[in-house]
Structure 1
Amino acid sequence: MTEGPLTGLRVVDFTHVLAGPACGYMLGLLGADVIKVEGPNGDAMRWRGGTDADAAKAGRSTAWLTQAAGKRSIVLDLETEFGRDAMMRLLERADILVENHLPETLRHLGLDDLTKRFPRLIHCAMTGYGRGGDLQDAPAYDVNIQAASGLMSLTGTEATGPLRAGAPVMDYATALAAGFAICAALYRRERTGEGGLVDVSMFETGLTLMASSVADMTATGRVPRARGNAANSRSPSAGTFPCREGLLSLGVNEEHQFDALARALGRDDWLADPRFATRAARGQNGAALEQALLAALSERDATDWESILRAAGVPAAELRGLDAALALPQVDARGFLADIGGVHVPTLPFRIGEHAPRPSGPPRELGVDTDEILAELGLVQKART
């Protein structure tokens, strides 16, 4: 495995819950030395999250394990003079600070205005609504941001009403946004020698995930509504359709894709049918096309159609559960999951050259590296109060 692109950089990970720890974990996958700073009671996620109650009771919940590997662990009580001194020494030697605390919390701990004290430090602050404005100190979790940003209003149907996305998508999207921003800040520091504040908003990340909907609404004034499994393209041949067994997602938006779909389904006659021969005609006769598609797809199972249609160049995918998705050979072929001692966790959805992102070690017990890191800072354990 080649050296990671962030090798040689030190990250102080002063985060909790999901979004912040995930960002620190991702930076570690790229080669950074990540030091997780926790209070005496540890990150609360060690004891909650996931469905393995026994692991959570032992302080190793699956939600914590997911983004804990590869980090060294130090316990610092930032309410004490010793803890604050040790934290400042850590930051003096660090390239990046990742934290997801409210600005008022940082002020209380004396951790505001850090880039003035450490001009080369890149301080990545991840909050619900970003710095500035009347919501900068408002607490928020993934579910709150899904609601506040409008994302939930686009999910579900008129019958179900708004629905939360089934996974904490805002947490992980924010972690990716923060990683992107940090890398941009590192490049700027390379040119100017200056670090600075990287201000990441979960709320704005949510709006970014809906960018095309945002632009359409501001241009037309039309507020988007929940459309269930219909595709955003509004093409009648894009969406999720039942087959003889199972459900099939189709992304047929272009002329050549519709031609390939018709031929693969054995319905060449659609190409000469005036109701379906052009994009405009299909839009005007969407209900008729949907019925024709349902009749054709009912002849085989979704698994069969997926193979047939993909071979024909049609964007198609069988609807799978997470268990079936992870069992796809593509997951192994890409080496996407990492084994951290019987638990397989995601790595990164990209590759840079020959580097394969892998955590440098398993998740560490709370504070196990405290003495070693304090020694690096010129401090000793017995001096703590």
Structure 2
Amino acid sequence: MSAPLSGIRVIDWTHVLAGPACAYYLGMLGADVIKVERPVTGDAIRHRGGTDKARAAKGMSTAYMTQGGGKRSIAIDLEAETGRDVFRRLLKSADVLVENHRPSTLERLGLTEEETRAINSRLIHCAMTGYGRGGEMADTPAYDVNIQAVSGLMSMTGTAESGPIRTGAPIIDYATGLSAAFAVTSALFARTQTNTGSFVDVSMLETAFSLMSSTITDYQLTGSVPQRRGNAANSRSVTSGTFPCRNGHISLGVNEDGQFRRLAKALGQIEWLEDDRLSTRRGRDAHADLIAGPLGTILAERDADEWEQILWREGVPAAKLRDLPDAIALPTGQSEDRTEGQIGAQLPFRFMNVEPKHRSDPPALGQDTIEILEELGYASQAIATLLQAGVVQGDAA
């Protein structure tokens, strides 16, 4: 079977992480992705992010490489009217525009959603911003760390002693990229029925709220403000959370009666099963002191590696706390690309009988400029004029 988005052209006018990730995911599903960058510097993330400073100095930072593959790069100066002419011609050839610029930038360049869809009525214009359209914060700049702070996520992370803590990875950026890709594919499906394009408004803040949905509902219905709970599970069950072992830590997700019975068997705590006070979730919550002490003592008697195998054999939701090298080496069904050295973001799902599009290396700045201009119908002399004027930039290599 062909990839789901084969024949779809995506203009990736984005920068940093969330926007490029969205376009990258669409490319992995088969879309032809053309990355539009400014001449000379290109996407700012080319030169920062990650620990490899030598790669970053060459415009190939590890952060850029993560979602840079499978695309073609054209460098256009959109501050120049002739550059915007090139961009408008690109939009006429496209199905999707993905961009993450502030509304004021779009207005200044004459590329608002009304103007882009006037150029191409079938265009899906996906705008990714910190706070979405329509409110007082619509033009406020934002990065992942800002959204983690403003959304309340950081206020719930950490302990009373540590204070608020950001998550160890830019989860809002990549969640926003996935949200936007989901929205774009939905809009493409809608277009099959209407034959017209649409505007897709993607908010980083609303994405953060979607990740916190059950916590927000609990607050709305109870008025209980979430507190920092460290490694305790959201379920607040005495048998859920992360516990120290003789060596390492083990995470337990034991909330249901059947799970508790399997845990008791695995730990050799048959007396728990004979105690009527512990036979229900409500009873265990009321008598947590009967479980908490023995549970901690028993888990500390073995290494996390041992407990993981014992608990898995009994069907207990459990996992050893791993560092990143160990985590990405797990033998999951979708781990082959990583074990074979494939870098970059991976799709968290698969289609039956459809493999993700082969990922070409991330392009150098302007690597495909001439090829793309020729596809758009520019004659050789016109291309030479644009290059000489600095309106576009060819391969930097």
Distance 1:294 1:77 in 2: 62
Contact preservation (8 Å) 2:328, 2:335: no
Q: CA deviation at 1:136?
A: 0.4
Partner of 1:299: 301
Partner of 1:71: 71
Partner of 2:10: 11
Q: How does 1:178-257 map to 2 (within 5 A)?
A: 178-257=180-259
Distance 1:142 1:338, change over 3 A: farther
Q: Which blocks of at least 5 consecutive residues in structure 1 are unaligned?
A: none
Distance 1:159 1:360 in 2: 45
Contact preservation (8 Å) 2:257, 2:279: no
Distance 1:364 1:278 in 2: 58
Contact preservation (8 Å) 1:156, 1:226: yes
Partner of 1:369: 368
Q: CA deviation at 1:299?
A: 2.0
Partner of 1:346: 345
Distance 1:203 1:72, change over 3 A: same
- Aligned residue for 2:208, secondary structure, equals helix
Contact preservation (8 Å) 1:126, 1:201: yes
Q: CA deviation at 1:80?
A: 1.2
Q: CA deviation at 1:322?
A: 0.5
Contact preservation (8 Å) 2:329, 2:339: no
Distance 1:19 1:359, change over 3 A: farther
Q: How does 1:148-159 map to 2 (within 5 A)?
A: 148-159=150-161
Q: Given residue 312 of structure 2, which amino acid in structure 1 is its aligned partner?
A: R
Q: How does 1:310-329 map to 2 (within 5 A)?
A: 310-329=312-331
Q: CA RMSD in A?
A: 1.4
Q: Percent identity?
A: 56
Distance 2:313 2:345 in 1: 29
- Aligned residue for 1:381, secondary structure, equals helix
Aligned length: 381
- Aligned residue for 1:115, secondary structure, equals helix
Q: CA deviation at 1:337?
A: 3.1
- Aligned residue for 1:124, secondary structure, equals strand
Q: Does 1:146 align with 2:148?
A: yes
- Aligned residue for 2:243, secondary structure, equals strand
Q: Given residue 188 of structure 2, which amino acid in structure 1 is its aligned partner?
A: L
Partner of 1:132: 134
Distance 1:47 1:16, change over 3 A: same
Distance 2:278 2:305 in 1: 26
Q: CA deviation at 1:344?
A: 2.0
Partner of 2:24: 25
Distance 1:228 1:357 in 2: 37
- Aligned residue for 1:249, secondary structure, equals strand
Distance 1:24 1:367 in 2: 17
Distance 2:282 2:75 in 1: 63
Distance 1:210 1:170, change over 3 A: same
Q: CA deviation at 1:360?
A: 3.6
Distance 1:24 1:347 in 2: 13
Question: How does the TM-score come out when normalised to structure 2?
Answer: 0.93
2:311 to 309, 312, 332: 309
Q: Does 1:111 align with 2:111?
A: yes
